[in-house]
Chain A
């Protein structure tokens, strides 16, 4: 079965910016946990460079922290089968990212593979085998390599938690993150994505990490959901808007949620969280659930389950979050201010309330009512020939509708004068404004490369 996550997101991409959520590497890859025979790849056997990373005390500590980092993915994630065993020392200066038939960790960037600001990087190689789990097809990972950068001072739990910690990076957090990559996980959020969701920023697989912080040492729910899809027992649900609506639209917005039958077999309790602070719905059967979101916002719907599964050792928990899947918008609330910069040049400042992420998709500026020369920009600058008055209309549109405001601007020879307008207290575009517009000069300074 194809997971609905992959169906819904491309559709939404056309309409609204995404908030993200756990990701696999692309294309997906995972270890084959059934490949346990002689010469098999499971459990993972890791080998480490024969140096002590700067800041750690002994080889034993290094090995122990790596083992614990692997164990986090197996022991801290419900129903995860991730398992790794210690291998042997390898020559740190001659190893690195090159395929060697071994899974390795090397330190101090022995092959100058990494650049500034990078703490570590991971790389995996796949065999010709493939595995499937929860309906996803993965290339089978044959070996993986983690390289730690030079000019980094690492620390263990005591170093990082000490009040005196200074310029040290948590070895276990970084290692756990990189191991996450080597078992198939991508970043929870990418640089450049809106990532206001604390669960994604707090995930082990978040892309950056600061010094003296151990925040990413233990995988959180977002990380766990990815592991369970790749290796364990996962849950999923479908979300459909009510008749005649979309999952993106004006308030109120109603949708129904269902759990496909293939996910129901071992579930004994379902708990729905609609992300808007309303009471959770808890059921013991997989009946359809309906919910209405009343207020503007981008909402994440979460289904948490309790299940009984022998392969998980009995009772297990799993969770599926559809991040930002519902976007409810009020009517846009455009507002702008302007400043005379002198010589009849007017700088507009767009101070519109942007509302929830994605609730404004377009700003259009109309000078003197002339729709034909309307500008799609965020903040225009107008250059006039003299001090004649002009009307400026800002039209904002989005899933919640379309709203516009208009105000008159008076260009001046001297700089410094300005005014502001917002939805409340401003006259709508009218015939008077359009007539005024016909009398003006206008030309906008258009910069072209």
Chain B
């Protein structure tokens, strides 16, 4: 191991910032659809970084102009503010491994949930799992969905994104979401980490109402979790 020469102090200053990362439970498309409070197609109008008072990390707030509502209480033309980990203010940068990144000009299909805080904005459900980038296939006008898109700069240039030969089209995903929402489909119940209790209660109730035969161990598991949370932890 070697110390670096002072000549690279500039590098150090540029990267002297927080970085973070996560572990997640994988969500199915049906779980994303059911748990999300809002599922929309949208265009990212602007992305602004913020550093909350007294905090060191940076988050980014993306303003999404909704172009189509698949689930939730919104109408076309509404704006949704989506707050995510990561962003840059001057030389300070917070990077979150696994967090979705929004770029102005990008078109997206997103599954959103409400933050659990007084000034709640939207948050992408399941981190990157709840965000798909839409790229128009020039020859047909159909939208292809991509999960991982290389991006640089502050503006998203859709025409510059290369498409793979084998493509997944958004209409298949959107049709599936619309079908599930219209039939009030309830995916097989499980206690998903981090889902707030009121939403888990709803999930549990809906699952029973849908005739699901739940593993009897869920009753004890849910009761134990509620008891723990009510006690504020030990």
User: Which A residues form the contact surface with B (CB < 8 A)?
Assistant: 13, 17, 25-27, 29, 32-34, 51-54, 92, 97-99, 107-109, 112, 114-133, 137, 139-140, 149-153, 166-167, 169, 174, 177-178, 181, 186-187, 190-193, 207-211, 231, 350, 354, 360-363, 374-378, 380, 396, 398, 444, 446-449
Residues of chain B with a CB closer than 8 A to A363's CB: 165
Residues of chain B with a CB closer than 8 A to A187's CB: 21, 97-98
CA distance A167 to B115 in the complex (A): 24
Contact across chains for A166 and B217 when beta carbons are under 8 A apart = yes
Residue of A nearest to B124 (CB): A115
Task: From A54, A107, A109, name the one whose CB has the most chain B CB atoms within 10 angstroms.
Answer: A54
Least CB distance, B23 to chain A, in whole angstroms: 5
CA distance A191 to B127 in the complex (A): 10
Contact across chains for B24 and A377 when beta carbons are under 8 A apart = no
Residue from B22, B116, B165, B200 within 8 A of A118 (CB atoms): B22
Residues of chain A with a CB closer than 8 A to B127's CB: 115, 117-118, 191
Residues of chain A with a CB closer than 8 A to B117's CB: 112
Contact A34-B3, Cβ < 8 Å, known A115-B123, A137-B8 = yes
Residue from A27, A53, A133, A192 within 8 A of B128 (CB atoms): A192
Contact across chains for A126 and B4 when beta carbons are under 8 A apart = no
29 A–B contacts from the bound complex (CB under 8 Å) = A13-B150, A25-B19, A98-B55, A98-B56, A115-B123, A116-B192, A116-B194, A117-B27, A117-B195, A118-B127, A119-B193, A120-B23, A121-B21, A123-B19, A123-B21, A123-B96, A126-B18, A137-B11, A140-B12, A153-B221, A166-B221, A167-B221, A181-B20, A186-B21, A187-B21, A192-B146, A193-B148, A374-B139, A447-B142
Contact A186-B97, Cβ < 8 Å, known A125-B56, A181-B20 = yes
Give the size of the chain B interface in residues (CB under 8 angstroms): 81
User: Which B residues form the contact surface with A (CB < 8 A)?
Assistant: 1-4, 8-9, 11-27, 35, 54-57, 85, 94-98, 113, 115-117, 123-129, 136-143, 146-148, 150, 164-167, 169, 190-197, 200, 215, 217-218, 221, 224-225, 228-229, 233-234
Contact A133-B1, Cβ < 8 Å, known A92-B233, A112-B115, A116-B125 = yes
Contact across chains for B217 and A167 when beta carbons are under 8 A apart = yes
The 9 closest A-B pairs by CB, nearest first: A192-B147, A123-B20, A181-B21, A192-B148, A51-B233, A139-B15, A378-B167, A121-B22, A117-B126
Chain A interface SS verdict (over half): loop
Residue from B4, B17, B165, B167 within 8 A of A137 (CB atoms): B4
Least CB distance, B47 to chain A, in whole angstroms: 18
CA distance A210 to B125 in the complex (A): 17
Contact A33-B1, Cβ < 8 Å, known A98-B56, A99-B56, A117-B24 = yes
Residues of chain B with a CB closer than 8 A to A34's CB: 1, 3
Residues of chain B with a CB closer than 8 A to A211's CB: 25
Contact across chains for A208 and B26 when beta carbons are under 8 A apart = yes
Least CB distance, A104 to chain B, in whole angstroms: 13
Residues of chain B with a CB closer than 8 A to A109's CB: 194
Task: From A117, A151, A167, A192, name the one whose CB has the most chain B CB atoms within 10 angstroms.
Answer: A117
Contact A207-B23, Cβ < 8 Å, known A125-B56, A150-B194 = yes
Residue from A125, A131, A178 within 8 A of B2 (CB atoms): A131
CA distance A348 to B98 in the complex (A): 36
Contact across chains for B193 and A124 when beta carbons are under 8 A apart = no
Contact across chains for B24 and A119 when beta carbons are under 8 A apart = yes
Residue of A nearest to B128 (CB): A191
Contact across chains for A130 and B9 when beta carbons are under 8 A apart = yes
Contact across chains for A126 and B22 when beta carbons are under 8 A apart = no
Residue of B nearest to A114 (CB): B194
CA distance A25 to B18 in the complex (A): 11
Residue from B1, B20, B21, B195 within 8 A of A116 (CB atoms): B195
Residues of chain A with a CB closer than 8 A to B15's CB: 27, 29, 126, 139
Other than A116-B194, A126-B17, A137-B11, give 8 A-B pairs with Cβ distance below 8 A: A25-B97, A98-B56, A150-B229, A152-B194, A191-B147, A193-B147, A376-B139, A448-B141
Contact across chains for A190 and B57 when beta carbons are under 8 A apart = no
Contact A25-B95, Cβ < 8 Å, known A181-B20, A380-B140 = yes
CA distance A108 to B97 in the complex (A): 21
Residue of A nearest to B127 (CB): A118
Contact across chains for A169 and B193 when beta carbons are under 8 A apart = yes
Residues of chain B with a CB closer than 8 A to A115's CB: 113, 115, 123-127, 194
Residue of A nearest to B140 (CB): A377
Least CB distance, B157 to chain A, in whole angstroms: 17
Contact across chains for B8 and A118 when beta carbons are under 8 A apart = no
Residue of A nearest to B227 (CB): A54
Residue of B nearest to A100 (CB): B56
Contact across chains for A151 and B194 when beta carbons are under 8 A apart = yes
Contact A167-B140, Cβ < 8 Å, known A116-B125, A117-B129, A131-B2 = no
Residues of chain A with a CB closer than 8 A to B26's CB: 117, 208, 210
Contact A108-B233, Cβ < 8 Å, known A153-B225, A191-B128 = yes
Contact A151-B221, Cβ < 8 Å, known A117-B192, A187-B98 = no
Residue of B nearest to A119 (CB): B23
Contact across chains for A377 and B20 when beta carbons are under 8 A apart = no
Contact across chains for B20 and A119 when beta carbons are under 8 A apart = no
Contact across chains for A151 and B140 when beta carbons are under 8 A apart = no
Residues of chain B with a CB closer than 8 A to A398's CB: 165
Least CB distance, B116 to chain A, in whole angstroms: 5
CA distance A59 to B220 in the complex (A): 24
